[in-house]
Amino acid sequence: MNHCARRTGRDDTPGGGCGGLTWGMIHAAPARKATGAGAPESSLSAPARELRDAGLQMGAPAPAAPGERASLPRRMSDVLPAHREHPRTLGANRYVYAVISRRAGGVSIGVNLSPHKACNFDCTYCQVDRTTPGTEKTVVPEVLRAELRAVFEAAASGALAAEPRFATSPAEMRRVVDVAFSGDGEPTNEPWFPEAARILAEERARAGLRDLPVRVITNATVFHRPEVAETLRFLDAHGLDVWAKLDAGTEPYYRLVDRSRVPFERVLANLLACARERTVTIQTLFARHHGEAPPAAEIAAWAGRLRAIREGGGRIGWVQVHTVSRVPAESFVTPLSLEELEPIAAAAREALPGTRVAAYRGSL
């Protein structure tokens, strides 16, 4: 998943670490009514009622620690907190954030299912900051639901797109365009992915966002697991759009860049199986390693993998070719220029005539 860049608040590449804990904090909807303990039942949103029932109030001081339900946000303002400037601050939200995504074309709601920051890949270009520990080992379903509910409500009301941190973005980018599983690890590899998918689908429908695409930004390593395949099929009925990583054409280059113990053949087989069931987007990050651009033979092999997916009955709707845009895990990784990316994109176009292929410049 080129997920990492999503977590920096402005996703000038779409991925590169799999998510985005840097959301610009979301303001409560301007029209939101008072929600204190004395507010009428009808004036309370469901999350506000949930928090009130837990002894909490929107904007009210948190209760004393003894007896506190640690699994819930302590205040509604922790779910819809005030704007903060620090680009890598998650605020009080633990899993749900928002970024401007250039490739998605607007404001993308991100869902990080890997707060522990572990991943079954170790991409040289990963932009997840692993110099600091993860925040927690698991995802608490009721907290995820409360965060999604609040953010979806803000999306539906227009408050999310109007959030001040997006004010400097072009007007056409200030609209909510998707919700994406894209965090600090591989979302489909998390045991709570199936439940998280169900919660997301329920809250998306509850907010009336039935047309909002649900993206899964993924490295495709575990699609073969029955529970993952079933979850993807479930999400097919709820706006699923798979964005899957393919960073190499050969096993050695895959080992060099993605540094995973998962066999490359497993990734390729999973990509093919997935693309036979639904149209997928392929995300590819090419960069310079120790000053060396990917060899021409590697580019040709990569294009051949794309062709093989199509010839095998898979459907690829979009190929995104990009490079490093955030500080990578390894200092020996540096971006390619757009002039270097364009021939790579051209190789994909030749392999997949008629398919949308785009190259995205880096920003380092």
For the CB of residue 257, give the shortest distance to ligand SF4 in the complex, in Å: 9
Which residues inside 165-224 make contact with ligand SF4, applying CB under 6 A?
185-186, 219
Closest by CA position to 310, among listed 355, 344, 345:
355
What is the DSSP secondary-structure string of 331-360? Answer: TTEEEPPHHHHHHHHHHHHHHSTT-EEEE-
Residues 218-277 contacting ligand SF4, CB under 6 A: 219
Q: Does 102 bind ligand SF4 (CB under 6 A)?
A: no
Q: How far is CA 316 from CA 100, 137, 352, in A?
A: 24, 34, 8
Both tokens of 64, joined, read 């004393």
Q: Does 149 bind ligand SF4 (CB under 6 A)?
A: no
* Upper half-sphere CA count for residue 96 (Cβ side, 13 Å): 31
Least separation in angstroms between residue 31's CB and ligand SF4 is: 37
Q: Based on the number of CB atoms within 10 Å of its own CB, is 213 exposed (0-12), middle (13-18) or buried (19 or more)?
A: middle
Minimum CB separation from ligand SF4 for residue 318, in Å?
19
How far, in Å, are 57, 98, 255, 332, 348 from residue 321 at the CA level? 46, 23, 19, 20, 9
Q: How far is the CB of 185 from ligand SF4 (least distance, A)?
A: 5
Q: Should residue 113 be labelled a site residue for ligand SF4 when binding is judged by CB under 6 A?
A: no
Number of residues that bind ligand SF4 (CB under 6 A): 15
* Choice between 119 and 348, CB closer to ligand SF4: 119
Q: Which of 51, 76, 100, 119 binds ligand SF4 (CB under 6 A)?
A: 119
Task: Tell me if 17 contacts ligand SF4 by CB under 6 A.
Answer: yes
The Cβ-side half-sphere exposure at 330, using a 13 Å CA radius, reads: 17
Choose, by CB under 6 A, the member of 121, 223, 254, 286 that binds ligand SF4: 121
Question: Which CB atom, from 184 or from 203, has the smaller least distance to ligand SF4?
Answer: 184
Helix (H) or strand (E) run with residue 181 in it: strand 176-181
> Interface with ligand SF4 includes 1 (CB under 6 A)?
yes
* Least distance CB 299 / ligand SF4 (angstroms): 20
Q: Does 123 bind ligand SF4 (CB under 6 A)?
A: yes
Read out DSSP for 243-287?
A: EEE---SSHHHHHHHT--SS-HHHHHHHHHHHHHHS-EEEEEE-E
Kind plus residue range of the DSSP H or E element containing 214: strand 214-218
Please report whether residue 351 would count as binding ligand SF4 according to CB under 6 A.
no
Burial of 167: CB neighbours in 10 Å, binned 0-12, 13-18, 19+: exposed
The span of 43-51, 122-130, 151-159, 230-238 binding ligand SF4 (CB under 6 A) equals 122-130
Q: Minimum distance between the CB of residue 113 and ligand SF4, rounded to whole angstroms?
A: 11
CB of 221 to ligand SF4, least distance (A): 9
Chain residues binding ligand SF4 by CB under 6 A are 1, 3-4, 16-18, 119, 121-123, 126, 128, 185-186, 219
